[in-house]
């Protein structure tokens, strides 16, 4: 059994392992990119449309989003 391990070149094994890792990591990267790219494009389209059609800056949108929980609580409290 030891002669089998001694006859295998460790540099070749390391090269094959490195190639396998690169292939797996690149597949993972492209899967994450393809899943996350569609919502990202949607957000960019929304922000650009708000900016150019209505003159609403992304900073104003972020302010409203950050205060959304308080506005929702006020709304639900006014119903009850």
Hey, where are the domains in the chain?
2-79
pLDDT, mean over the chain: 86
pLDDT tier, 1 (very low <50, low <70, confident <90, very high otherwise): low
pTM: 0.53
Buried b / exposed e along 5-40 (16+ C-beta atoms within 10 A) = eeeeeeeeeeeeeeeeeeeeeeeeeeeeeeeeeeee
* pLDDT at position 5: 64
As a whole number of angstroms, the distance between CA 47 and CA 11 comes to 51
pLDDT tens digits along 20-57: 999 999 999 888 888 888 888 889 999 999 999 999 99
The burial of 50, by beta-carbon neighbours within 10 Å (0-12 exposed, 13-18 middle, 19 or more buried), is given as: middle
């Amino acid at each position: 059994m030891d002669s089998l391990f001694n006859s295998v070149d460790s540099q070749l094994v390391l090269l094959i392992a490195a190639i396998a890792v690169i292939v797996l990591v690149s597949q993972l990267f492209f899967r994450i990119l393809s899943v996350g790219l569609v919502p990202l494009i949607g957000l960019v389209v929304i922000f650009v449309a708000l900016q150019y059609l209505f003159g609403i800056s992304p900073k104003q949108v972020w302010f409203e989003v950050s205060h959304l929980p308080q506005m929702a609580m006020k709304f639900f409290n006014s119903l009850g």
